[in-house]
Amino acid sequence: MLTGKQKRFLRSEAHHLNPIFQVGKGGVNDNMVKQIEEVLEARELIKISVLQNCEEDKDTVAEKLAGGAKAELVQVIGSTIVLYKESKENKKLDLPR
């Protein structure tokens, strides 16, 4: 579980990132979750945008993605979701305690 301080740190780190996944009409599927898990292993922190044609609520999408990828939900802001998962082999971010 992330602390408030860690979430603030991650939000500032994510600020300049561009979303690398889009969730659209099809919603969340296993393939997408698998890809997100792989990208999180490489990058640790990613943004995902929820398109307007997505039939699911963005908070539901965020929970499904975080749960499926076993990642931490850092924030949902507008239609953008920020996820974090500590990498096993490519540790880049040093979280404050």
Domain boundaries, the chain: 4-84
The reported pTM is: 0.95
| Burial tier of 86 (Cβ tally within 10 Å: 0-12, 13-18, 19+) | middle
| Residue reference for tokens 């040093």 | 94
Q: What is the CATH number of domain 4-84?
A: 3.30.110.60
Phi first, then psi: what are they for 50, rounded to 5°? Answer: -100, 115
Residue range 72-95: mean pLDDT, rounded: 95
6 — pLDDT class (breaks 50, 70, 90): very high
| pLDDT of res. 97 | 87
